Amino acid sequence: MRIGLIGGGNVGKFLLQSINIDGLLPGGKIVGIYTRNQQSGGQLAAQFDTENYSDIHSLIQSTTIDLVIEAATIQVVKDFAAAILKSGKDLVLSSVGALADENFFRNLETICKDSNTKIHLPSGAIGGLDVLKAAKSIGELESVSIITRKPPQALPGAPLDQEQVMFEGTANEAIELFPKNINVSIILSLAGVGPDQTGVKIISDPTVRKNSHSIEATGSFGKLSLRLENDPMPNNPKTSYLAALSVLSVLKNIDAVVKVG
């Protein structure tokens, strides 16, 4: 599997290390990278034995790349996801918040059908998606909500000395206000009842050092209550380590002959 990577932040560096250096994806390699910061891109390319692309369109059109990983921003997804899929390449999305826009989502679905490509969505920093998908399959999933609690350093404008509810509303509204912090609500809503029906509460808490997510769901299956406490990635309190691991997990299972869930 020849992989192109868009983004050179913490998730991108983790994938470069895990795949190109540690060999955790047998038969796979990140053969090209694009970042907005070309100096950084050149350094990463040299460090991790890959090619640095000076513009994103060259990476997208490259015939040496089979699949593209987006590990950048929601805006990058909105600007370039369609072109990646039309080029015949599968796409692994890190910034799943872009799919809160239903029209955009449906357009990408159409492109996938026309070009015989696929979008792979990592589970991110949460769990329980298999339960939601199972209940949704017969239309008997009634409600889904998530409470996210983070250190104030991870939330723009949060007070440093007291707990504060920073947001309460729907997943669709949350991703507009916190595009870098609440991608988990969108992957949760896509597996469940949709971004306009998924309840979200974001709490800034100066007493915690880790991100936590409490998920509640009800339906004909019964009730789901799930709480995860995630370690942040080193030097970046905005990103959970599990989010990076979930991208690697997707890649390791793309060609699996036996898939769980």
Which residues are catalytically annotated? 213
> What is the spatial distance between Cα 135 and Cα 234, in angstroms, rounded to a whole number?
36
Closest CA to 120 of 3, 241, 239: 3
Tokens of 192: 């469940």
- Burial (CB count <10 Å: 0-12, 13-18, 19+), residue 22: exposed
Where do we find the tokens 């190109």?
20
Strand partners, 150: 204
Distance in angstroms (rounded) separating the CA atoms of residues 184 and 158? 19
Q: Which of 228, 222, 196, 198 is nearest to 210 (CA)?
A: 228
